[in-house]
């Protein structure tokens, strides 16, 4: 079974600075999909960014980008120019192409300091 | 489209009582998922449907839990004879079949068993 590990329970960043959240996963599959989700306090979880394992190019969505290292089974999220609205819990998730479900890490709580 | 709706938002029940939650997914999405989230943890998979068929159910899920998705539209999750350990946030999500398509989550139903 796949496992997803987020080793940083809490992170903080100064507004306008850059922060990187870590995620590692364990799998024997060669094809899979990785996601980062954001869960603001008392609000619903939303998709931030996705990465297909067969793509070498790292995904980017505006201020959010990933560093996908397939051999190391690492999938970190970089947030540039951090904003107060980025404060949330961030979850890394793994999805097999043949499975409907996703496996989530335990999350990293990001605090943005003004 | 109004997104994924969950009802109720909060439920307080006495131990031993039965509770039922409802989820209305995005109408174009043929997959519907139920996850459970406890404080400080990532979402834990419970079950998912593709249209009206329940394709997978977590082995961690006891027989007290049952889910339905009649006619492939809304879904209900019932917990019978609730226990204090059932206290959690129950999240519903929907998606398309394609594995690179992320989830759209609802706001969740927070269950407190007293």
Per-residue pLDDT of chain B (114 residues; tens, 9 = 90+): 579 999 999 999 999 999 999 999 999 999 999 999 998 899 999 999 999 999 999 987 789 999 999 888 999 999 999 999 999 999 999 999 888 889 999 999 999 999
3-state secondary structure of B98: coil
Q: Is the pLDDT of residue A12 over 90?
A: yes
Residues of B with CB under 8 A from a CB of A: 4, 31, 33, 35, 40-45, 48, 50, 55-56, 91, 93, 99-100, 102-108
| Chain B interface, best mutation among A41, A94, A102, A104, by max B CB count within 10 A | A102
Pick A33's closest partner by Cβ from B42, B100, B107: B100
Q: Is the pLDDT of residue A107 over 70?
A: yes
Q: C-alpha angle B104/B108/B110, rounded to 5°?
A: 165
A74 with A67: CB under 8 angstroms?
A: yes
3-state secondary structure of B39: coil
Cα gap B82→B87, rounded to integer Å: 9
Q: Does A50 contact B91 at a Cβ distance shorter than 8 Å?
A: no
Q: What are the residues whose beta carbons fall under 8 Å from the beta carbon of A56, sequence distance 6 or more?
A: none
Token pair recorded at residue A18: 């850059």
Tell whether A1 lies on the interface with B, counting CB pairs under 8 A: no
Q: Does B42 contact A107 at a Cβ distance shorter than 8 Å?
A: yes
Tell whether A97 lies on the interface with B, counting CB pairs under 8 A: yes
Q: H helices within chain A, ranges in order?
A: none
Q: What is the pLDDT of residue A113?
A: 97
Q: What is the pLDDT of residue A14?
A: 98
Q: Is the pLDDT of residue A55 over 70?
A: yes
Q: What is the phi/psi pair of residue A74, to 5°?
A: -125, 140
3-state secondary structure of B70: helix
Token pair recorded at residue B87: 């206290």
Q: What is the pLDDT of residue B1?
A: 55
Pick B99's closest partner by Cβ from A33, A45, A104: A33
- What residue of B is the nearest CA neighbor of A44? B107
Q: What are the residues whose beta carbons fall under 8 Å from the beta carbon of A25, sequence distance 6 or more?
A: A2, A3, A4, A5, A34, A73, A75, A92, A94
Chain B positions in Cβ-Cβ contact with residue A30 (cut-off 8 Å): none
Q: What is the pLDDT of residue B98?
A: 86
């Amino acid at each position: 079974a796949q496992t997803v590990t987020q080793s940083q329970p809490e992170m903080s960043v100064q507004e306008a600075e850059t922060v990187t959240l870590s995620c590692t996963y364990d799998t024997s599959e060669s094809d899979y999909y990785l996601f980062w989700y954001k869960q603001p306090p008392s609000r619903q979880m939303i998709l931030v960014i996705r990465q297909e394992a067969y793509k070498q190019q790292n995904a980017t969505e505006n201020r959010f980008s990933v560093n996908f290292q397939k051999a190391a089974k690492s999938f970190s999220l970089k947030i540039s120019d951090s904003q107060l609205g980025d404060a949330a819990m961030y979850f890394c998730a793994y999805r097999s192409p043949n499975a409907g479900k996703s496996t989530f890490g335990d999350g990293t709580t990001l605090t943005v300091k003004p | 489209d109004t997104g994924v709706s969950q009802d109720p938002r909060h439920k307080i029940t006495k131990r031993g009582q039965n509770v039922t939650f409802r989820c209305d997914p995005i109408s174009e999405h043929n997959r519907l998922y139920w996850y459970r989230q406890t404080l400080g943890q990532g979402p834990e998979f419970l079950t998912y449907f593709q249209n009206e068929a329940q394709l997978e159910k977590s082995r961690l899920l006891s027989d007290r839990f049952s889910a339905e998705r009649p006619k492939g539209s809304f879904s209900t999750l019932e917990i019978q004879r609730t226990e204090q350990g059932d206290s959690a946030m129950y999240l519903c999500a929907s998606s398309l079949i394609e594995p690179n398509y992320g989830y759209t989550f609802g706001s969740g139903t927070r269950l407190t068993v007293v």
